[in-house]
Chains A and B, each alone.
Chain A
């Protein structure tokens, strides 16, 4: 089984450090890329698509997405990604990772077909293993 590429989009710097550690520990992913907010991530996707880079290599397989972020939040990111996803060379699976336990957010996440799951923080190594192997 080939290791997958993973993107983490979250504005919490501490969380970013922690998730990086956890991802490493899980040993399920080849590449980890982090973004501070939705805008940075969507810009990266745009670049990939427009410059016709070797998309399969650069594009992630999985995105861990926070909801509350400055500049561009998780929902807006989903909208923007929906506009350009047809140009992706492979399917990208999105998981919401939020400290929010509000049912409202959970329900909203179900309206997006690209969102495969909703994870509440804290994320454990087991969660990641499941995600990685869930195909």
Chain B
């Protein structure tokens, strides 16, 4: 809010309408309160004054009455003669009574006993009452005696009835108390004479009280004895009787009532005024807010319009009508004319208008600003001519001549230029059309379309249309005649071998032969389908009757899609091209058939990605995958190489390709049926600029060769193995026989040179044992030879368990003595095809070995298991014996006469024979062993 024109102090209030309103309210409330309290004070004072007056008057009246009584009593006392007896009491009494109407009775009371009363009538009851003896009266009576003054006792109940006061005047004779001179005034009379009754009793009432001297209690004598201490009252004391006279206001809240309404009104006014102030102060704030909102809106719309003005794609300017100077000008206008906006302001409208663009009439009228809108030419700063479409709108009231004009200038230079270009391109098109090396026809198909529409063929299914047209050749003919040839180019004449355009323009029916009808029908179908383009091959017949193949291109010119009034048809002579194409096709087919007859997959692939782009049909025969399947996947080749060969094959191929080296290698691929196919791949690297670009090659199926190679290898290995065995055997033979023969030779020489018979005998004994050993060796060798020669080798179906039992029976003595535990884990009735003698021998040798080489420190355990390993049946015999150090003895364990222990039983023949027997049965034996842990033999049975 803008309150800056006010001092800061006031602004503080103006800024806080609520606070200010509240302060105003408080202030006014205070003022109202003050006024009301003043009013209250005034009313109260007036009231008091009134009451005091009233009270004073009453008091005076009473005092007056009492004074009268004083006079009366004094007068009465004077009647007492020297003897102390009243004289003429009744007369005096009468006179006194007449002079003082208030008094009801007068008395003389010598020594406290009422002796004289006037009038006696009505007061008889009081005669001879000793007041000094009556406790009811005694006290007050004595009070006046002691004070020696007149004292009014009561109000008290009179003997003669009613309430009254008794004024007693003590009479002394010779300083000696004589008695009382008294007046009796009825209370009613007293009050009447006091004027209490005349007082406005709507406002006040009186109360009359006396304090009881003994009890000190205040006793009230008038009606309305209700407690008035709460009410407003004033009082005065009448000393003659120790009375207290009260004047009491009847309405205790009278004053408040009087001031309440003004107070409330004052308060309400204060509140209203506070609200008023608040509202008044609030109004400017709201107005300010409204102003701000409106200002923002205004600013926004101003920005908007400014933006529109500045960013408009048309030039907008505000021009002074008379001088033609620019008042306001937007960016586009400046841009259009190439001046800055500052420069433009200095320009006159006419200056930038090119004189050519101003009409003569305007020039004559010296009109600065064209009144009519229209196309105008401008000259830009750089001298370029710019065309603009002007719209001039006067910016003022319609009646008066406008002082400013709004000019909207749309740059239409481009449009103008485009028109020019179109004109030029039309010319160019014409010349292109004429000079085109391809025969071109400009035709009008509108009538054809209408005709087809009439026949209801438009948008029908193309097959249906075709059928219809085939069935109605007359319709086609009609269509041909309906085509209007507008123009043809020069080449057309050559194509049709005619001399002038006229011959062709005359009509298509002259040109179209039987052979061309197919091509034309296609055009008709294209029209029915709403197509804009048609490319087809067709045949025409020229005027010499020669047939030419043409590539017919039928194009609807843009803008004529509906009417088909302009169609460009090109009929490129492709007769020569067709024949050479046919030639190429044939040679391609030849090459392809050649490729496909090659007994290998001919292929081509990308040198970098190994993605294949050609695969010959042999692929299906060799690998089971068609060439389509192969070409469908970019990584087909890599994906189908045998997993074991993949890595090296890819690496090898990549390496060779990198070096631009033709290569030739062999690897395996997986065929569609899962078979492994060996391929020899002969690869040619095709390079461009020294970079390998693509690979071509042929994959030849060498699976059979590979298999033969493997067979050859296997049999070679077999022969080698057998040869080795044979060598070993011959070695064994020679060694074993030699050791005996050398012993024999030694013994013989010893015998020859022996000197004693004794020695000779010894030698002969030795010779005998050598002979025995030799025999044994011969037996062993014979056995081995028999095994090897397969002599008498008969295989039968044998129950394995039975043979195990037999062997255990044979070995039962050893088993018992060594406490061997043999457990068999195998299915029941395992049958094997084996030579019975061999089986027994094998089982005996291995089990007896296990028992013989059992560990001396533990109970021998032998486990016989029947297992299958890769579809091969295996009999596994494990023990926990002393074991063999296979690291040292691996090549010897199954050799002849190889023993590994100091055991004297070991002959080194058992395992040798066992192995030979198993080999002879086409099986195999392996051993696993660890010293001190045990040995496991596995017998593979075929």
Question: Across the interface, which residues of B come within 8 angstroms of A22, CB to CB?
Answer: 746, 750
Q: Which of A18, A37, A70, A99 contacts B766 (CB 8 A)?
A: A18
Given the contacts A68-B735, A70-B908, A18 and B901 also touching, CB distance less than 8 Å: no
User: A99 contacts B739, CB within 8 Å?
Assistant: yes
- Within B735-751, the residues touching A (CB, 8 Å) are 735, 738-739, 742-743, 745-747, 749-750
Tell me if B898 is interfacial: C-beta within 8 Å of chain A. yes
In the bound complex, what is the Cα–Cα distance between A99 and B457 (angstroms)?
115
User: B900 contacts A99, CB within 8 Å?
Assistant: no
Question: Across the interface, which residues of B come within 8 angstroms of A17, CB to CB?
Answer: 766
Tell me if B753 is interfacial: C-beta within 8 Å of chain A. yes
User: A14 contacts B900, CB within 8 Å?
Assistant: no
- Within A76-132, the residues touching B (CB, 8 Å) are 76, 99-102, 120-124
In the bound complex, what is the Cα–Cα distance between A22 and B745 (angstroms)?
12
Chain B residue at minimum C-beta to C-beta distance from A11:
B899
**Interface range, B side:** 20 to 34
User: A18 contacts B739, CB within 8 Å?
Assistant: no
One digit per residue, 1 when the CB lies within 8 angstroms of any chain B CB and 0 when it does not, for chain A 13-52 equals: 0110111011001000000000011000000000000000
User: B745 contacts A122, CB within 8 Å?
Assistant: yes
B746 to chain A minimum Cβ distance, whole angstroms, is 4
Question: Across the interface, which residues of B come within 8 angstroms of A68, CB to CB?
Answer: 735, 897
Tell me if B212 is interfacial: C-beta within 8 Å of chain A. no
Q: Which of B735, B888, B902 contacts A100 (CB 8 A)?
A: B735
Question: Across the interface, which residues of A come within 8 angstroms of B307, CB to CB?
Answer: none
Q: Which of A14, A71, A102, A124 contacts B749 (CB 8 A)?
A: A124
Chain B residue at minimum C-beta to C-beta distance from A36:
B902
Tell me if A12 is interfacial: C-beta within 8 Å of chain B. yes
In the bound complex, what is the Cα–Cα distance between A102 and B738 (angstroms)?
12
Interface centre among B738, B742, B898, B906 (most CB of A within 10 A): B742
B756 to chain A minimum Cβ distance, whole angstroms, is 12
User: B908 contacts A122, CB within 8 Å?
Assistant: no
Tell me if B254 is interfacial: C-beta within 8 Å of chain A. no
Chain B residue at minimum C-beta to C-beta distance from A69:
B899
Chain B residue at minimum C-beta to C-beta distance from A102:
B731
User: B743 contacts A70, CB within 8 Å?
Assistant: no
Given the contacts A18-B747, A22-B750, A123-B746, A99 and B906 also touching, CB distance less than 8 Å: no
Chain B residue at minimum C-beta to C-beta distance from A21:
B750
User: B900 contacts A70, CB within 8 Å?
Assistant: yes
Question: Across the interface, which residues of B come within 8 angstroms of A36, CB to CB?
Answer: 902
One digit per residue, 1 when the CB lies within 8 angstroms of any chain A CB and 0 when it does not, for chain B 875-913 equals: 000000000000010000000011111100010100000
A8 to chain B minimum Cβ distance, whole angstroms, is 13
User: B735 contacts A14, CB within 8 Å?
Assistant: no
Tell me if B770 is interfacial: C-beta within 8 Å of chain A. yes
User: A25 contacts B753, CB within 8 Å?
Assistant: yes
A43 to chain B minimum Cβ distance, whole angstroms, is 12
Q: Which of A71, A121, A123 contacts B739 (CB 8 A)?
A: A121
A32 to chain B minimum Cβ distance, whole angstroms, is 15
Question: Across the interface, which residues of A come within 8 angstroms of B753, CB to CB?
Answer: 25
Question: Across the interface, which residues of A come within 8 angstroms of B901, CB to CB?
Answer: 70-71
B507 to chain A minimum Cβ distance, whole angstroms, is 111
Tell me if B773 is interfacial: C-beta within 8 Å of chain A. yes
In the bound complex, what is the Cα–Cα distance between A70 and B770 (angstroms)?
20
Chain B residue at minimum C-beta to C-beta distance from A76:
B888
User: B766 contacts A14, CB within 8 Å?
Assistant: yes
User: A121 contacts B902, CB within 8 Å?
Assistant: no
Given the contacts A18-B766, A122-B742, A70 and B749 also touching, CB distance less than 8 Å: no
A114 to chain B minimum Cβ distance, whole angstroms, is 21
User: A122 contacts B734, CB within 8 Å?
Assistant: no
User: A14 contacts B770, CB within 8 Å?
Assistant: yes
In the bound complex, what is the Cα–Cα distance between A17 and B764 (angstroms)?
13
In the bound complex, what is the Cα–Cα distance between A123 and B739 (angstroms)?
11
Tell me if B769 is interfacial: C-beta within 8 Å of chain A. yes
B903 to chain A minimum Cβ distance, whole angstroms, is 9
B336 to chain A minimum Cβ distance, whole angstroms, is 109
A25 to chain B minimum Cβ distance, whole angstroms, is 7
User: A14 contacts B738, CB within 8 Å?
Assistant: no
In the bound complex, what is the Cα–Cα distance between A19 and B750 (angstroms)?
10
A75 to chain B minimum Cβ distance, whole angstroms, is 11
In the bound complex, what is the Cα–Cα distance between A122 and B746 (angstroms)?
6
- Within B123-170, the residues touching A (CB, 8 Å) are none
User: B742 contacts A14, CB within 8 Å?
Assistant: no
B728 to chain A minimum Cβ distance, whole angstroms, is 11
Question: Across the interface, which residues of A come within 8 angstroms of B743, CB to CB?
Answer: 12, 14-15, 18, 121-122
User: A70 contacts B899, CB within 8 Å?
Assistant: yes
One digit per residue, 1 when the CB lies within 8 angstroms of any chain A CB and 0 when it does not, for chain B 213-242 equals: 000000000000000000000000000000
Question: Across the interface, which residues of B come within 8 angstroms of A101, CB to CB?
Answer: 734, 738
In the bound complex, what is the Cα–Cα distance between A71 and B731 (angstroms)?
20
Question: Across the interface, which residues of A come within 8 angstroms of B749, CB to CB?
Answer: 122, 124
Question: Across the interface, which residues of B come within 8 angstroms of A120, CB to CB?
Answer: 742
Chain A residue at minimum C-beta to C-beta distance from B759:
A21
Question: Across the interface, which residues of A come within 8 angstroms of B773, CB to CB?
Answer: 14
One digit per residue, 1 when the CB lies within 8 angstroms of any chain A CB and 0 when it does not, for chain B 770-786 equals: 10010000000000000
A135 to chain B minimum Cβ distance, whole angstroms, is 25
Given the contacts A12-B739, A14-B769, A14-B773, A71 and B746 also touching, CB distance less than 8 Å: no
Q: Which of B735, B769, B888, B908 contacts A99 (CB 8 A)?
A: B735
In the bound complex, what is the Cα–Cα distance between A76 and B731 (angstroms)?
20
In the bound complex, what is the Cα–Cα distance between A18 and B747 (angstroms)?
7
A83 to chain B minimum Cβ distance, whole angstroms, is 16
In the bound complex, what is the Cα–Cα distance between A24 and B389 (angstroms)?
147
In the bound complex, what is the Cα–Cα distance between A21 and B769 (angstroms)?
17
Question: Across the interface, which residues of A come within 8 angstroms of B898, CB to CB?
Answer: 70
Chain A residue at minimum C-beta to C-beta distance from B907:
A70
B290 to chain A minimum Cβ distance, whole angstroms, is 117
Question: Across the interface, which residues of B come within 8 angstroms of A102, CB to CB?
Answer: 731, 734-735
Question: Across the interface, which residues of B come within 8 angstroms of A15, CB to CB?
Answer: 739, 742-743, 746
Interface centre among A25, A76, A99, A124 (most CB of B within 10 A): A99
In the bound complex, what is the Cα–Cα distance between A12 and B738 (angstroms)?
12
- Within B694-752, the residues touching A (CB, 8 Å) are 731, 734-735, 738-739, 742-743, 745-747, 749-750
User: A18 contacts B908, CB within 8 Å?
Assistant: no
Chain B residue at minimum C-beta to C-beta distance from A121:
B742
Question: Across the interface, which residues of A come within 8 angstroms of B908, CB to CB?
Answer: 70
User: B897 contacts A99, CB within 8 Å?
Assistant: no
Chain B residue at minimum C-beta to C-beta distance from A73:
B892
User: A100 contacts B738, CB within 8 Å?
Assistant: yes
In the bound complex, what is the Cα–Cα distance between A135 and B898 (angstroms)?
35
A122 to chain B minimum Cβ distance, whole angstroms, is 4
Question: Across the interface, which residues of A come within 8 angstroms of B742, CB to CB?
Answer: 15, 99, 120-122
Given the contacts A100-B735, A101-B734, A18 and B902 also touching, CB distance less than 8 Å: no
User: A71 contacts B766, CB within 8 Å?
Assistant: no
In the bound complex, what is the Cα–Cα distance between A15 and B747 (angstroms)?
9
Question: Across the interface, which residues of B come within 8 angstroms of A123, CB to CB?
Answer: 746
Other 8 A-B pairs with CB < 8 A, given A19-B746, A102-B735: A14-B773, A15-B739, A15-B742, A18-B747, A70-B898, A71-B901, A76-B888, A124-B749
22 contacts across the A-B interface (CB closer than 8 A):
A12-B743, A14-B743, A14-B766, A15-B739, A15-B743, A17-B766, A18-B746, A18-B747, A18-B766, A21-B750, A70-B900, A71-B899, A99-B735, A99-B739, A101-B734, A102-B731, A102-B734, A102-B735, A121-B739, A121-B742, A121-B746, A122-B746
5 closest cross-chain pairs (CB), A and B: A121-B742, A70-B899, A99-B739, A122-B742, A99-B738
